C-alpha cells in the first residue's frame, strides 16, 4: 500500500472532505499543510529509531506519519473522537503507532512511559492548541514523567514568553517555570499560511530540553512558584506589595521587607525584575524563617 503523506493542502483537503470533517473551534484545531515545516519539527525534535515519542493532538496524522518513520514507537493522544476514523486510515501503513482517544490532561503519561519505554526519558512532540498550551506544558513538567525534550508548535507570543529574561514585557510566571525545568530554544517561526484553517496569529516551534538537574538550588520549589505567582499577579505593584497581598502567602510585612533586603536589591523592586536565581534565594530565605 502506497503511503500518502498529508503535509500539503490537496491531500489534507481530500481526507477532510472524504470524512465530512468539521473543524472544532473548542479544540483549537489548525492542521499543518506544509511538509517542510513538518519535517523540520521532527528533525529539531531529534527523533531517532531508539525513541518512544508521545504526540499530543495528531489531528489527521500529518506529523504522526513522519514520526512513525523516524521513531521506534509513537503514541498519539487525540481528544476529538471525530478524528479517530481518519487516523485509522492515514496511519494504516504503520505498525508502530498507538492512537489514544483521550484528553491529554487525563492520561497517565508516567504509566505510558513505563509501559512503552521502560521508564526511560521520552520525547514529546506536538502542535498544541493555543488555549491549552500552558496547562499541558506545566502538567508534563510537574508530573515528573521522565522527559528528554518537548518540541512544540505554539503561538509565537507564547514561545517568546517561554524564553525571555527579566525586565521584558513578556517575562512572567510561564518564563520562570519553563526555565526552571528546561532550556528553551525557538527553532522555527511558522506563518499562518502553513495551516488549515489559517490562525489569526503567527506560530513558532520551541524546543524545551529538560534539565537533568535544575539550574537553581531551591529547598521548596512549590513555595518558590507561589512567590512567583504572587509577584506577577499584580505586575504593576512592587514585589513587597504583591507578596503582602497574596492569599497564598502568610508572611508579615516585616518578614517580606527583610527577605527582599537579603537579596541586596531596592525595597521598591518589582517582581518582573527578579531572575530565577533571585526567586530561589527569596524562597530559601522564607524556608529558613519557617525552620527557625
Burial label for 150, CB within 10 Å (0-12, 13-18, 19+), is: buried
**What is the mean pLDDT of the segment spanning 257-272?**
95
**DSSP-based three-state secondary structure for 67:** helix
Q: How many CB atoms lie within 10 A of CB 292?
A: 4
Helix/strand/coil percent split, the chain, to 5: 45, 20, 35
CB atoms within 10 A of CB 82: 14
What is the Cα–Cα distance from 235 to 260, expressed in whole angstroms? 17
Higher pLDDT, 133 or 91: 91
Judge whether 283 and 223 are in contact, CB under 8 Å.
Answer: yes
pLDDT in tens, 147-183: 999 999 999 999 999 999 998 889 999 999 999 999 9
* Number of C-beta neighbours around residue 280 at 10 A: 23
Q: Which three cell numbers stand for residue 89?
A: 486510515
At residue 12, the pLDDT reads: 93
Q: Among 288, 276, 277, which Cα is nearest to 251's?
A: 288
pLDDT band at 140 (very low <50, low <70, confident <90, very high): very high
> What stretches of 149-199 show up as alpha helix (H) in DSSP?
156-163, 173-181
Model pLDDT for residues 10-58, shown as the tens digit of each residue: 999 999 999 999 887 778 789 999 999 999 999 999 999 999 999 999 9
Angle at 167 between CA 163 and CA 172, to 5 degrees: 50
Which band of pLDDT confidence, cut at 50, 70 and 90, is reported for residue 1?
very low
**pLDDT tens by residue, 218-255:** 999 999 999 999 999 877 889 999 999 999 999 999 99
pLDDT at residue 133 is higher than 50 = yes
What pTM was computed for the model? 0.91
* Residue 101, all three cell numbers: 482517544
Does 292 have pLDDT greater than 70? no
To 10 degrees, the CA torsion angle through 181, 186, 189, 195? -30
Domains of the chain with bracketed CATH:
9-210 (3.40.50.150), 221-291 (1.10.8.100)
Q: How far apart are CA 162 and CA 81, in angstroms?
A: 31
Mind listing the pLDDT tens digit for each residue in 82-122?
A: 999 999 999 999 999 999 999 999 999 999 999 999 989 99
Q: What average pLDDT does the chain have?
A: 93
Amino acid at each position: 500500500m502506497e503511503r500518502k503523506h498529508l503535509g500539503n493542502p490537496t491531500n489534507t483537503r481530500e481526507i477532510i472532505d472524504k470524512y465530512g470533517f468539521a473543524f472544532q473551534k473548542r479544540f483549537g484545531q489548525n492542521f499543518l499543510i506544509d511538509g517542510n515545516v513538518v519535517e523540520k519539527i521532527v528533525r529539531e525534535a531529534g527523533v531517532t529509531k531508539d525513541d518512544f515519542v508521545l504526540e499530543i493532538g495528531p489531528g489527521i496524522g500529518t506529523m504522526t506519519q513522519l514520526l512513525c518513520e523516524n521513531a521506534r514507537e509513537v503514541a498519539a493522544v487525540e481528544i476529538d473522537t471525530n478524528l479517530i476514523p481518519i487516523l485509522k486510515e492515514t496511519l494504516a501503513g504503520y505498525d508502530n503507532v498507538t492512537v489514544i482517544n483521550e484528553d491529554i490532561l487525563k492520561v497517565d503519561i508516567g504509566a505510558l512511559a513505563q509501559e512503552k519505554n521502560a521508564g526511560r526519558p521520552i520525547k514529546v512532540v506536538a502542535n498544541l492548541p493555543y488555549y491549552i498550551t500552558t496547562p499541558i506544558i506545566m502538567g508534563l513538567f510537574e508530573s515528573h514523567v521522565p522527559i528528554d525534550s518537548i518540541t512544540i508548535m505554539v503561538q509565537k507570543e507564547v514561545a517568546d514568553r517561554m524564553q525571555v529574561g527579566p525586565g521584558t514585557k513578556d517575562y512572567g510566571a510561564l518564563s520562570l517555570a519553563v526555565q526552571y525545568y528546561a532550556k528553551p530554544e525557538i527553532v522555527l517561526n511558522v506563518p499562518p499560511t502553513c495551516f488549515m484553517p489559517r490562525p489569526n496569529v503567527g506560530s513558532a516551534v520551541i524546543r524545551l530540553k529538560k534539565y537533568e538537574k535544575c539550574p537553581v538550588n531551591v529547598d521548596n520549589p512549590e513555595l518558590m512558584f507561589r512567590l512567583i505567582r504572587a509577584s506577577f499577579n499584580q505586575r504593576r505593584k512592587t514585589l513587597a506589595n504583591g507578596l503582602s497581598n497574596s492569599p497564598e502567602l502568610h508572611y508579615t510585612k516585616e518578614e517580606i521587607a527583610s527577605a527582599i533586603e537579603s537579596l541586596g536589591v531596592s525595597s521598591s523592586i518589582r517582581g518582573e525584575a527578579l531572575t530565577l536565581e533571585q526567586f530561589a534565594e527569596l524562597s530559601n530565605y522564607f524556608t529558613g524563617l519557617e525552620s527557625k
